[in-house]
Structure 1
């Protein structure tokens, strides 16, 4: 593991973390094949790189790689037991993959939540989950039943904090009304490539507003109720750091590179700074499994965003490929 001087003790509150490492890429394939020494070594290398740049929050889900992402992370913890006190572990439940029991679906029944937490604790080799997110809204969920399950997990000391993922403001408010324990996080797809989190607000009263899928008012609700926003897909799958798809992507890539050179940082940091510059204080989740690319995100973990208002707007307009209304 990283030297002591490079590792900061993890804050117990997920809202204190400005950058999160997403573990979905760890553990091998999405099939049922078991992981082995190569997958454990790759997980150790990714965790080491994240710790080196100052990231101490690690994001999981019970379904990632069919549970293997949590399991290889548990192997890493088992090999370095002192690491557990230095990291915050966040995981999710509520998605069921297709199989013999039925189609791919969402399940926020109390029994499924409790069973998922039990299995995650076993795979992660820990006695407590720091943060549990409900992965997707379940249309058949009973808020009182969900609240009862979460409250029980909290009182047993099995989960410290709770949040949601991919939920809109009314859904969060509806659940919170049944729950005494506060919801502290909402994880959404947010990036320079997925811009409707800012587009939804500025396209009000325009014909373009029907083209955004982001629920208007969600950012404002989360800010008003101290619900930390997390951005999954924050690096936009490399669209602005070498994997451009469109002419606008290519132009934005050039602008990102120029800004990185001018500010003495990396293109990855610029892409993440664009998210972090927003006053909602969004925490990007970086999902690459490559240690070199994790290290390229260093300045997003260690430096405040160094984009001016003009640079932020310029990058937005270039990436969207059209002027603002």
Structure 2
């Protein structure tokens, strides 16, 4: 398994993170088998959130992996907080409480990474800074980051937070690639030129922030996957052609497209299927040519100026 340095922190993780949002949808034995496969493949970085499965996924994961001190030494854990029922909450009180609850559910004394899940319009940066410092000083969280934030929001938060923000988890897939298209249509009078993300892709590269791509196979907002979908015949034909060329699955090619970008983006997988996880990992071993990368990009309906 290839590895990646998150930001410039020296924190080395696998090239993909195993998303555990759906672990509550499978039986315990299936979860145990899936986690064992992930570990056997070197995919030992697991992504969680306090809200996944209405708060149940972290506990299910800990039970499935048989959490112990020896197990914990060989895995990396990331979780997120800030989403509550009907609103967002970056208060110091909530951040500290959420982390303590996640640690209890995961049966561990620390998180390798904590992300703020979605921007809170009522965020008091000083409170976040105090929470992060307390968590870091007490050894409960080693690294920090954000999710779904634009450059200005990150800069504002970093002004107060002492610890470097090394991750920004953002939605990115072949069909949801506005952060890429806006950089291609600079100075053009078309819809693709609209700056919807504040130049977040280049900002993260400039400031050594690793982008983690969530829902790398989804189109729209949780509308479904584009692979094998009749709504995307041209895209699937292009992906299938390359899958045959490289002797891999269409899943591998879809992730190879993300890996090809020089930003060194880290995909978050969401599958609980061991075979598909293998296909995801295989994607990290493929280097698409420029022509192939742009061919996929255009086949998804994205345009070039």
Same fold (TM over 0.5): yes
Does 2:141 correspond to 1:153? Answer: no
CA contact under 8 A between 1:14 and 1:131: conserved in structure 2? no
**Partner of residue 94, structure 1:** 82
User: SS in structure 2 opposite 1:89?
Assistant: strand
Distance apart, 1:83 and its partner CA? 2.5
Q: Kindly provide the CA deviation profile for residues 216-260 of structure 1, in whole angstroms up to 9, marking residues without a partner as x.
A: 321112111111110000122773432x152xx111111111101
More deviation, 19-28/291-300: 291-300
CA distance in 1, matches of 2:67, 2:161: 37
Hey, what's the Cα distance between the residues in 2 that align with 1:172 and 1:146? 12
Question: Does structure 1 retain, via aligned residues, the 8 Å contact 2:252–2:282?
Answer: yes
Q: Deviations over 1:171-211 (max 9, x none)?
A: 00110010111111000000112111211212232333478
1:25 aligned residue = 22
Is the contact made by 1:26 and 1:68 (CA closer than 8 Å) also made in structure 2?
Answer: no
Equivalent of 1:223, from 200, 205, 213? 205
TM-superposition CA deviations, 1:292-313 (whole Å, max 9, x none): 2112213134x2x320000000
Alignment partner, residue 227 of structure 2: 241
Deviates more, 1:207-216 or 1:86-95: 207-216
Q: Whole-Å Cα distance in 2 between the matches of residues 48 and 314 of structure 1?
A: 36
Structure 1 stretches lacking a partner, 5+ long: 1-5, 29-37, 98-103
1:56-135 mapped onto 2 (5 Å cutoff): 56-78=44-66, 82-97=70-85, 104-135=86-117
- Where structure 2 has 5 or more consecutive residues not aligned to the other structure, the ranges are none
1:268 is matched with 251
Partners of 2:112 and 2:143 within 8 A in 1: yes
Given candidates 158, 180, 188, the residue that maps to 1:206 is 188
How many residues align? The count is 297
Whether contact under 8 Å (2:90, 2:120) holds in the other structure is yes
Deviations 1:7-60 (A, max 9, x none): x9x9995564311110001123xxxxxxxxx63223212212322332111100
2:16/2:281 contact within 8 Å kept: no
Deviations along 1:268-308, whole A, 9 cap, x unmatched?
A: 1110010111111100011012222112213134x2x3200
Mapped to 1, the partners of 2:29 and 2:68 lie a distance apart of 13
Structure 2 CA distance, aligned partners of 1:52 and 1:256? 28
